[in-house]
Amino acid sequence: MTPLQARNAAYSLALAVPAALMAGALVSQYVFGLYPCQMCWWQRYPHIAAIVLALLAFTMKGAGKGRGAGDMAVILAATATGISGLIGAFHAGVEYGWWEGVTACATVAESGGNALDAIMNAPVIRCDVAPWSLFGVSLAGFNFLISITGAVLVFALLGKGRKGA
């Protein structure tokens, strides 16, 4: 892989990883009814920031503003993805009972209609219970594994891309 290919792969991965994880979170919520708890929301915020930063990096790269500005946005995007992964690790530890979380539950009230009915009928979502798992790994655990791996790969690819500069 040439340095230019590595750099382009870093940019693409910096966008693809948080976008795929956010898409998965939204599908699990709106298609499968797995409503997010408070710590799930905390994991989403850095992914949203990473998506915005990665898109910004592509615009800087395309506008010819130099390697520095676009690369810095990619570095920040990868850092945000890594932060989401670390929050996911903490959340997974809470779900597995390794340590106590900072919040026990959250609720999602549907908008529209009678506000009191929406609040009273909203499901209570516990942060210390994994609503779904595969091979013993919860969604928070998968977020940790995928986010940290993706962030490390982005940094490695960007480093390889800079060697050819």
User: Do residues 40 and 140 lie in contact, with contact meaning Cβ atoms separated by under 8 Å?
Assistant: yes
The model's pLDDT over 125-161, given as tens digits with 9 standing for 90+, comes to 767 777 777 787 788 889 999 999 999 999 999 988 7
Tell me the residue range of the domain where 45 lies: 3-163
Query: What CA–CA distance (Å, rounded) separates 95 from 138?
Result: 8
Tally of domains in the chain: 1
pLDDT on residue 150: 96
The residues of the chain scoring below 50 in pLDDT are 63-66
Query: What CA–CA distance (Å, rounded) separates 34 from 31?
Result: 8
User: Do residues 139 and 92 lie in contact, with contact meaning Cβ atoms separated by under 8 Å?
Assistant: no
